[in-house]
Amino acid sequence: MAFDGYTDQSMSRKAMKAELLDAETELALARAWRDHRDEQALHRLVTAYMRLAISMAAKFRRYGAPMNDLIQEASLGLMKAADKFDPDRGVRFSTYAVWWIKASIQDYVMRNWSMVRTGSTSSQKALFFNMRRVQARLEREARAAGETLDPHQLRQRIATEVGVPLADVEMMEGRLSGSDFSLNATQVAGEEGREWIEALEDDSLQAADRVEGAHDAARLRDWLVAAMGALNARERFIVTERKLREEPRTLESLGEELGLSKERVRQLEAAAFAKMRRSLEAQSREVHHFLT
C-alpha cells in the first residue's frame, strides 16, 4: 500500500473518512491476509488504522521532521505490524500496531536528526526521546526540595533515571544541543571570511616528515638488500619463501622441495636470520660511527 503523492492534510482527511472496524471484522481481515495474502484485506485493515498512525506521527513533530515524512514512516510501521500480526493471540490489532508504528517513526527521527549517528541501542533511543522530559522533571523536583543541581549532578541523575551510562548522557546532550553546521560555512559574514574547515588542525604527515620517512625507508631497504646478499642461494630462497611471500610457505613444503627434513629447514632459516642480524648490526654501527 503506497501513500506517495499525498500531502499530510489529504492523508489526514482520507484517514478520518476510513471505516471503524469492529473486533470481528478486524479478525477476519487479519486472517485473510495471514492465510491467503489477500491484498484487499490488507488495504482495508491498514486504511482503517491510518488515523492511529497519523496521530502518533504528530507527536514527533517537535523533532523538526516534515509531517508528511513522519506519516510515511508511520504507515510503513503500520504495514509491518499488519504483516506480522497474529490474529489468534486475542489481542486487538491497534494494540499490537502501536509498537511498530512508534519504532518506525523513532528510527526515522534518529536517522535524520544528525549526520553523526546518534545511537541505535534501546537505551540510547530511550535517552534520545526522554532526556528532555526527564531533565525537566528532575529540575522541578530539585526546586521543590530546595536543591540546586549543577550540570554534572543533573546529568548523573538523568543517567540513573534512564538507566544509561553517564557518558551516554553527555554525548546525547551534545547531540541535542543543536543541529549540524557545515564546515564550509564562513566564520564571519562576507565572501572573504575564512571557512571553519580551514581552522581544523591538519593531522596528516608534514612535508619534512614525509621526506624523512621516505629516506629512512630507502636506507632500511638498502640494509636489507645487503643483509640478504650475505646469504647463500639456499638461505636466500628459504627466507624469501618464508618471509617475503604474500602467503608464506610452510617448513614442510620447503623441505619436500629441497629434499630436506622439516627440522633441517628450520635450522637453515634460523642460521640465515642470524647472519642477517649480524649484517644489520654491523651496518647500523657504521652509520652511527659516521654520524658521530
User: Torsions phi, psi of 119, nearest 5?
Assistant: 160, 155
Nearest to 57 by CA among 17, 98, 21: 98
Q: Are 88 and 143 in a shared domain?
A: no
pLDDT value, residue 139: 86
Q: Are residues 12 and 29 in the same domain?
A: yes
Q: Is 153 found in the same domain as 109?
A: no
> In which domain, by residue range, is 282 found?
209-291
Most confident of 12-21, 169-178, 221-230: 221-230
Domain-located, residue 193: no
Assess contact for 273 and 283: CB atoms under 8 A: no
Q: The C-alpha cell of 223 is what?
A: 640494509
CATH number of residue 221's parent domain = 1.10.10.10
Dump pLDDT digits (tens) for 57-68. Answer: 998 887 778 888
**The pLDDT value given to residue 92:** 92
Q: Are residues 161 and 92 in the same domain?
A: no
Q: 75 and 49 share a domain? A: yes
- Strand-pair partners of 195: 186
Look at residue 181 and tell me if it is in a domain.
no
Position 284 pLDDT exceeds 60: yes
Confidence grade of residue 288 (pLDDT, cut at 50, 70, 90): low
Mean pLDDT of the chain: 80
Q: Is residue 62 part of a domain?
A: yes
**Would you tell me how many other CB atoms lie within 10 Å of the CB of residue 82?**
23
List pLDDT tens digits, range 174-218: 666 655 455 555 656 555 666 655 666 556 656 666 777 777 778
What integer pLDDT is reported at residue 24 of this predicted model?
93
In a domain, 218, yes or no: yes
DSSP H or E segment with residue 135: helix 122-144
Is 245 found in the same domain as 220? yes
Residues 108 and 24 in one domain: yes
Domain tally, the chain:
3
pLDDT score of 184: 58
Looking at the domain assignment, is residue 186 inside a domain? no
b/e map 155-194, b = 16+ CB within 10 Å: bebbbebbebeeebbebbbebbeeeeeeeeeeeeeeeeee
Q: How confident is the model at residue 16 (pLDDT cuts 50, 70, 90)?
A: confident
Inter-residue contact 123 to 166 (CB < 8 Å): no
Mean pLDDT of 127-135: 79
Residue 284 lies in a domain: yes
Mean pLDDT (whole number) for 278-289: 70
pLDDT in tens, 244-265: 888 889 999 999 998 999 899 9
Whether residue 104 is found in the same domain as residue 126: no
Q: In this structure, are residues 124 and 172 in contact, taking their beta carbons and an 8 Å threshold?
A: yes
CATH of the domain at 94: 1.20.120.1810
Q: Are residues 238 and 257 in the same domain?
A: yes
Q: In the numeric block, which cell numbers belong to residue 62?
A: 517537535
User: Rounded to the nearest 10 degrees, how much is the dihedral formed by the CA atoms of 57, 59, 63, 67?
Assistant: 40
Q: For residues 101 and 172, state if they share a domain.
A: no
Question: At residue 157, does pLDDT exceed 60?
Answer: yes
Q: Scanning the structure block, which residue is given the C-alpha cell 571553519?
A: 196
Which among 79, 113, 147 is the end of a domain?
Answer: 113
Q: Is residue 42 part of a domain?
A: yes
Boundary-marking domain end, from 78, 96, 113: 113
Q: How confident is the model at residue 77 (pLDDT cuts 50, 70, 90)?
A: very high
As beta bridge partners, residue 186 has: 195
What are the pLDDT digits (tens) for 85-102?
Answer: 999 998 999 999 999 999
Question: Can you give the pLDDT at residue 185?
Answer: 59
Q: What is the pLDDT of residues 273-283, one digit of tens each?
A: 898 888 878 87
Confidence at residue 36, expressed as pLDDT on a 0 to 100 scale: 92
> Is residue 58 in a domain?
yes
Single-letter residue type at 119: G
